[in-house]
Amino acid sequence: MLSRALTHRSHGATHNERLEFLGDAVLNLVVAQLLFVHQLKASEGELSRMRAHLVREESLHQLALQIGLPAHLRLSEGEARSGGARRASILADALEALFGAIHLDAGFEAAAAVVERLFLPLVQQDLGAARWAKDAKTALQEWLQARRHPVPSYRIVATLGQAHAQQFEVECSVPALTLTALGRGPSRRAAEQEAAAALLAQVQQSSQQEAQRG
């Protein structure tokens, strides 16, 4: 199970993507519970932003480096040569897969204990923080919901480059407003954030122009 959690898809057919899916769910629940307990004055929206901040790729990448995960990854020769063992998206996914593997092997409580050991210092460090930066996807969704528009949808429209250096192109769309925007990044998450930022800029500009005409 540990071997599979640390195996990137470039290495072979038995890789960590399904464990990553499970570990992502474990991670989000445990971090949500930590915030619920330690951020007693935070509103639901603030708790959601805090969780998004803590479980984002950048945070997972730093924790993966902290515990020495790069030395244990199983990658193809090409991926290893291109620096895949230090790539943020690969390390973030592997850490989530590790949480999923622990959950399957030893149960939720064991997995939760590992997540808590890694994330509690971050939660405590940020206690009392009045404002948390909103990522583009969150900001766009809140902007749309505040105006009773449907939430945006995301889809991968292209995967570019070789397996060891892929770029994802994602489309963000709000059909009700007939608006779309594209984003590109080294991971699906990064591409979605870029697309959301581009669409948010569109809707905000449109809103400003309408206000000026009014």
Q: Which of 20, 93, 96, 192 is catalytic?
A: 96
Q: Are 174 and 202 in contact (CB under 8 A)?
A: no
- d(C-alpha 180, C-alpha 173), whole Å: 4
What are phi and psi for residue 158, nearest 5 degrees? -160, 150
- d(C-alpha 52, C-alpha 138), whole Å: 8
Active site annotation includes 135: no
Active site annotation includes 17: no
- In 3D space, the residue among 138, 149, 150 whose CA is nearest the CA of residue 192 turns out to be 138
Burial of 119 (0-12, 13-18, 19+ CB in 10 A): buried
Q: Which of 20, 24, 93, 171 is catalytic?
A: 24
What residues act catalytically? 24, 96
